[in-house]
Structure 1
Amino acid sequence: KMEKKSEINGHAMPSSASTARMLENSEEPVEEDQQQQQEEKKKKRGCKERLTRFLSRNLLVILTVSGVLVGVGLGMLVRGMNLSKAQMSHFAFPGEMLLRMLKMIILPLVVCSLVSGAASLDTRSLGKLGGIAVAYFLVTTLIASGIGVALAFIIKPGVGAGALNTNSLGLESVSSNKETTDSFLDLARNLFPSNLVAAAFRSYATDYKMVAVGNDTNGTILYQKVPIGTEADGMNILGLVLFAMMFGVALRILGEEGEELIRFFNAFNEATMVLVSWIMWYIPFGIMFLVGSKIVEMEDVVLLVTSLGKYIFASILGHIIHGGIVLPLIYFAFTRKNPFSFLSGLITPFTTAFATCSSSATLPSMIKCVEENNGVDKRISRFILPIGATVNMDGAAIFQCIAAVFIAQLNNTELNAGQIFTILVTATASSVGAAGIPAGGIITIAIILEAIGLPTNDLSLMLAVDWIVDRTTTVVNVEGDALGAGILHHINQLEMKKHQQEVAEELEEVKVESVANVQAEEETSPLVMHQTKILEGMPEAIESVL
């Protein structure tokens, strides 16, 4: 009976199902409307989320760029107020604070990042990556010098500007009596500072004094120029870089004993990066006043541009060619990736470089952005970027070469092939020792001029427009470092993949060998054979018992 009832109930089911279906059909349009509304809401929400995500990710970039633009407007407004020198310095105060913060962080950042970077890479890959980095820096700087010389001969900025002299522009003359050989010897001396503590704020510089060495036949006193060592203000980053690298390698070689100190430097490094992330939020505000104060302090720009316009144009064009074409092409040749998508993640450091004119001051934000936005390995970025900020000066090499040819043209001096070669080599070598500070390259131009035997009294012309040219110079310097880090990261990844494949292949070989050995043992070992016989005989014994 129960079964029949259930059958009857079962027969009743289709009718109820059909009524439910009818109800569902009547509800379908309502549900469709609801679904459409939900989809629209999702789309709106998706757009909002995307926008907020974009803003949160690029907020610092937007603020920094707008800081520069607001700074230009602010500078133009304040320029009309005819401020006194004291008021100008007060107006520039927030910008000065930014520079002080960035410079404060350079020393711990460079030392700790290099020690931990050199210690985390094994000696073999450290040597290989170091070699590639040095080759990259040298080749790009040589190309930059070549571009500078070529542009100077094509544009001829100094031809027809012979009437220009320092007096017409009301400039102070700059004199440098440094010998070329001594400048290169100073470079070597600074690589090995005699006092590490002093290297944090002083570098070695050769000066000269005239010493009486006797009389000639007429009784006149003979003087000789004697070089004497002096301490110049300014951090000796070159010496600190070399020491930190060697120290990192030494800790690596120590093994277990050195691990605690490596951990200390790693922690110090991470703490420094946290400080950097805080400072970066002050950058937009500081940049606004840095740019504004520069515009307020400007001399008569029209006069400078009309008289030195060709020189400014040649320098900036050189930077655009090198930074916009040559460096991205080199990056693409190595990595087969889009260089401009790589560079788009570094707008904040580029803006900082443009505003501060200092590749050292840009280093903290550059390390942070390269790691976070472009995913470059920490070990690579913290090893290569501090070295690059000190050694790799592509932008400086371009404008130094243009300046040297410009001064030769001013003095109506025809440069021969030997002198051009000297300019190229000297610019490449001396840009290594150029300080990563505003107007650091002017001193190195003096070295180039000494090397080709030209007077250095026209250097004040370079100083007059240095604040214009130095901005694009620093951006190119910093771009060269960043792309170098990208290339090394790519090479390192390829090496790691190759290494992993080799390890995997070795493991497979080991597995195959171990399987073969087990089989061989089974065949030969008498114990195994005895056990197998017993096991084989077991079922029969059990059966017989049963």
Structure 2
Amino acid sequence: MKKLALHWKIIIGMVLGIIWALVSSSMGWSAFTINWIDPFGTIFINLLKLIAVPLVLFSIISGVANIGDPKSLGRMGGKTLGMYLVTTILAITLGLVLVNIIKPGKLIDEQSRIDNRINYEIWADSQGYQIKDGINYLKDPAYLQRAQEISDLTKKALKEVSVSDKLETAGKQKETTPLQPLVDIVPDNFFRALSNNGLMLQVIFFAIFFGVSLLFVPDDKSEPVLKLVDGINEVFLKMVDLVMQAAPFFVFALLAGVVSKMAGDDIGKVLEIFKGLSWYSLTVLSGLLIMIFITYPLILKGFVKKISYSGFFKAMSPAQTLAFSTSSSAATLPVTMECVEQNLGVNKKISSFVLPIGATVNMDGTSLYQAVAVIFLAQLHMIDLTIGQQITVVLTTTLASIGSAAVPSAGLVMLIIVLDSVGLNPAWIAIIFPVDRILDMFRTVVNVTGDATVCSIIADGENMLDYQEKKSPTDTFDLDSKS
């Protein structure tokens, strides 16, 4: 068991969690699961939330500050960051379009979604969050009765939840100006933003501002700060690694607990949850495959005529294969650079600049998955997010993707940030955890393909692309020979 790879251990933990959820539901053991197993899942979420905010802060500062001397970047630096931003926004937009068309969260039975909604409203009140769509199901006596059946709250407590300060909040929202979301991004107190997950956009703004400012500070002054930031960032990445070592047990507890809370002793609801999960997986996978086989080739063809469709994928197949197997853009980076330089003919001056930045800031697959996941979880709980709230998802996922470490499952940590930004329960990640590993493998292929696409475009624009179509598969870079 010790020699077994971590992702296989996590998969075993998930399978055992699913089996336990089914057995627990059919045997009427949900109360035992919630009282004695679910708390370990809560500890897992708390550990991830503990790490998430400082990880985003120091990852973004490090990524921005390591870009280099802004005076020497010039046109190439601006084009690189601009192209990465465009592909990220395209990926998120595609994810939002697909999830709003397919509506995977609405493809389970209505009663299960109503129960999910009631649990959401009870949770939101206990955490001090606003009800996102302004609708309060607990005001309806019919739902109030059902709420008492699926929770341990009294009718009096449930009524207090339903008549809290929702009207006052709605009144305040009507008074806000159109540019209020922009104002809210800029913090007046950085430490208050750090202590409030709902203000994560302010933390991201500060991190970008701090990193950019470091670029303009003389090297002798900025270098100690940058070394400190990089060192702290490494510590938090190691904390993620340590937490993930215990993930197989935590995932078992988290999955069993969340399913028991949502389904209780009704095994039919457990099956409905996994039905919704299947549609969610298909939605994410559709978006990722569209990015790989349609979006990137179209973008590349629009800028670089000489690289053919089949030639691009033949050149990048070793890096894509490694990305799929490792789920790590960072681990794949050396092979990505080799494929881009040898097979696509990109000058090393371009690849050594563009690709490391891409491994840090370009997380198109992660961004698409996060956007789909947030809307799917909202749909699953009968929460209709407005266009404005979905734009917030786009903005948060775009910026949070900069802070996503290029290591397996780092996007799951960032998803907590995105869920918090729209006032949804971070513990809901347990619902999508069973399929995260396989989707993570496809997400990494998207990230690496996007890096290579942008790198080729920048090289062509700088007249540093010497692409020659390889006639034989043996002419392409051999991954095994470099191992």
Give the structure-2-normalised TM-score: 0.57
Tell me: CA distance 1:183–1:141, structure 2 relative to 1, closer, same or farther (3 Å).
farther
- Give, in whole Å, the separation in 1 of the partners of 2:417 and 2:229: 30
CA distance 1:132–1:398, shift in 2 (3 Å): farther
In the TM superposition, residue 118 of structure 1 has moved relative to its aligned partner by: 0.8
1:490 to 443, 447, 452: 452
Does residue 238 of structure 1 match 2:198? no
Return the alpha-carbon distance in structure 1 between the equivalents of residues 270 and 19 of structure 2: 20
Structure 1 pair 324–61 and aligned structure 2 pair: CA distance change class (3 A) = same
**CA, structure 1 residues 102+398, in 2 after alignment: closer, same or farther (shift >3 Å)?**
closer
Matches within 5 A, 1:95-494: 95-122=41-68, 123=70, 124=74, 126-151=77-102, 167=142, 170-171=146-147, 178=170, 179=173, 182=176, 185-202=179-196, 234-256=197-219, 257-299=221-263, 317-326=282-291, 329-330=294-295, 336=313, 337-338=316-317, 341=321, 344-345=324-325, 369-372=328-331, 375=334, 379-384=357-362, 393-396=370-373, 399=376, 427-433=390-396, 436-437=415-416, 440=419, 482=444, 485-487=447-449, 489-490=451-452, 494=456
Q: Tell me if 1:60 matches 2:60.
A: no
Partner Cα distance (2:180, 2:249) in 1: 38
Question: 1:371 corresponds to which letter in structure 2?
Answer: A
Q: Which amino acid in 2 is paired with 1:345?
A: S
| Unmatched tracts of structure 2, length 5 or more | 116-136, 148-157, 301-311, 337-354, 398-413, 465-483
Mean alpha-carbon deviation: is it higher for 100-109 or for 395-404?
395-404
Which amino acid is the alignment partner of residue 98 of structure 2?
Answer: I
Give the alignment of 1:513-524 within 5 angstroms. Answer: none
CA distance in 2, matches of 1:284, 1:183: 47
Structure 1 residues 327, 279: CA separation in 2 closer, same or farther (over 3 Å shift)?
A: same
Gaps of 5+ in 1: 1-51, 203-233, 348-368, 409-421, 446-462, 503-546
| Pairwise CA distance, 1:197 | 0.7
Distance 1:328 1:235, change over 3 A: farther
Structure with the bigger percentage of strand: 1
TM-score by length of 1: 0.51
Amino acid paired to 1:189: V
Q: How many residues align?
A: 363
Letter of the aligned partner of 2:6 in structure 1?
Answer: L
| Aligned-residue offset at 1:198 | 0.9
- C-alpha distance in 2 between matches for 1:280 and 1:264: 24
Q: Which has the larger Rg?
A: 1
Give the superposition deviation at 1:104.
Answer: 1.8
**Shift in alpha-carbon separation, 1:87–1:277, aligned structure 2, 3 A:** closer
By how many angstroms is 1:294 displaced? Answer: 2.2
Go from structure 1 to structure 2 and tell me whether the alpha carbon gap of 1:440 and 1:271 turns closer, same or farther (over 3 Å shift): closer
Q: Is the 8 A contact 1:119 1:251 kept in 2?
A: yes
8 A contact 2:362–2:447 mirrored in 1 = yes
Match of 1:170, SS state, is helix
CA contact (8 A) 1:148 1:318 kept: yes
Contact 2:58 2:230 in 1 (8 A): yes
Distance in 1 separating the partners of 2:55 and 2:224: 19
Assess, with a 3 A threshold, how the Cα gap between structure 1 residues 478 and 198 changes in structure 2: closer, same or farther: farther
* Residues 42-98 of structure 1 deviation map (CA, whole Å, 9 limit, x = unaligned): xxxxxxxxxx9xx95x71121111111122223333445544757623312332222
Indicate the RMSD between aligned Cα atoms, in angstroms: 5.2
Residue 382 of structure 1 deviates from its aligned partner by 3.5
In the TM superposition, what whole-angstrom CA distance separates every residue of 1:335-364 from its partner, at most 9, and x where no partner exists? Answer: 6334963553356xxxxxxxxxxxxxxxxx
Structure 2: distance between partners of 1:185 and 1:340: 42
Quick one: distance in 2 between partners of 1:286 and 1:87?
13
SS of structure 1 residue aligned to 2:263: coil
Superposition deviation, residue 120 in structure 1: 1.2
Amino acid at match of 1:196: F
Q: Which has the higher contact order (CA 8 A, sep 6+)?
A: 2
Contact 1:431–1:441 (8 Å) recurs in 2 = no
Taking the aligned partners of 1:312 and 1:65, their CA distance within structure 2 comes to: 16
Q: Which moved more, 1:189-198 or 1:369-378?
A: 369-378
Q: 1:494 to 1:130 in 2, by over 3 A?
A: same
Secondary structure, counterpart of 1:193 in structure 2: coil
Which residue type is aligned with residue 329 of structure 2? V
Check 1:298–1:130 CA distance in 2 against 1; reply closer, same or farther (3 A cut): same
Aligned partners of 1:199 and 1:237 also within 8 Å: yes
Q: d(CA) in 1 for partners of 2:40 and 2:82?
A: 41
* Kept in 1: contact 2:392–2:422 (CA 8 A): no
Structure 1 residue 144 displacement after superposition: 2.7
TM-superposed CA distance for 1:488, in Å, is 5.2
Amino acid at match of 1:130: L
Distance 2:296 2:210 in 1: 31
